[in-house]
A = this chain, B = another copy of it.
């Protein structure tokens, strides 16, 4: 047993960290699933580091996935359901359902949002897609300041926050490699990373992907959780993906990339700065 010399002041752990709030939204009903294991590791790791961890356990919450007229108890137009119009009306006038309001409150409280889910048919499980569909309101996540597409991709109601997709796949990593048969994981998730998270202004971190989730040994799980802990330890110091901001000069008309930027490049790759 060693004794700390009396003249060396103890450094309180709280000094080591700038406390942040993290929201983990996750979608798997099985407590022993890899998804839930990774959520547990994140909650423990981030909590131990002094951060506040909020969770939206969508299955446990019985989250209603289907976006429909029950989301608009007070209608702008009772004769015809236009989702964009009713979303804006409900958000602006405080007529949103309580479950949506609560999720928006958690989002706005968060410095970092982690979406943790199993990749089902190369996208989110329906319950999480329905969380986006219902919570990403007009006036908050799009249509900011009532100005349509004027403020998006780098600006918006969720600006100032970090976001990350943390995904598990059943198939092997090679299937998601640059020439793998499924397509690269970063391209498959672009509708989420760029179109859903960067769109309302969040700074999006590189996707954390764990492949081969279907057939893991305890040693595999130990390796995967260790890597996850390590990633999380530096999560507030990481540089986000360099998606190009709509109003940063690269899109003079707010729609198409300037021809001088990434000349000749088309598709998703053009929207990421080198």
**Any B CB within 8 A of the CB of A29:** yes
Interface residues of A in 182-233 (CB under 8 A from B): 182-184, 187-188, 190-192, 194-196, 199, 214
Q: How many residues of A contact B (CB 8 A)?
A: 68
Considering the chains assembled together, what is the distance between the CA atoms of A67 and B194 in angstroms? 26
Bound complex: CA of A32 vs CA of B68, how far in Å? Answer: 15
In angstroms, Cα B190 to Cα A136, docked, is 23
Least CB distance from A260 to B in Å reads 12
Binary CB contact string for chain A from 14 to 40 against chain B (1 if under 8 A, 0 otherwise):
000000000000000110110000000
Would A67 and B122 count as touching, CB distance under 8 A? no
Q: Does the CB pair B179–A257 fall under 8 Å?
A: yes
List residues 225-274 of chain A with CB under 8 A from any CB of chain B: 246, 251, 254-257, 265-271
> A182, B170: Cβ atoms under 8 Å?
no
Provide the bound-state CA to CA distance between A69 and B122, in Å.
21
CB neighbours of A136 from chain B (8 A)? 121
Q: Give every chain B residue within 8 A of A192 (Cβ-Cβ).
A: 121-122
A170 and B126 form a contact (CB under 8 A): no
Instruction: Give, as a whole number of angstroms, the nearest-CB distance from A100 to chain B.
Output: 14
CA distance A188 to B183 in the complex (A): 12
Q: How far is the CB of A190 from chain B (nearest CB, A)?
A: 6
Residue A127 lies at the interface, judged by CB distance under 8 Å to chain B: yes
* A101 at the B interface (CB under 8 A): no
Binary contact readout A151-169 vs B (1 if CB under 8 angstroms, 0 otherwise):
0010000000000000000
Assess the A126–B130 pair: CB atoms within 8 A: yes
Least CB separation from A153: chain B residue? B181
A65 in contact with B65 (CB, 8 Å): yes
With A126-B126, A183-B194, A188-B191 already in contact, the answer to whether A30 and B255 are too (CB < 8 A) is no
Pick from B67, B175, B266: contact of A179, CB under 8 Å: B266
User: Is A132's beta carbon under 8 Å from chain B?
Assistant: yes
Of B123, B124, B178, B182, the residue contacting A266 (CB under 8 A) is B178
Per-residue contact bits, chain A 71-92, to B (CB 8 Å; 1 contact, 0 not):
0000000001111100000000
In the complex, are the beta carbons of B123 and A123 less than 8 A apart?
yes
**A156, B76: Cα distance in complex, Å:** 47
Contacts of A214 in B (CB 8 A): 84
Q: Does A97 contact B (CB under 8 A)?
A: no
If A188-B191, A255-B181 touch, does A84 touch B170 (CB 8 Å cutoff)?
Answer: yes
Q: What are 7 pairs between A and B in contact, CB < 8 Å?
A: A121-B191, A121-B196, A122-B196, A124-B129, A125-B133, A187-B190, A267-B268
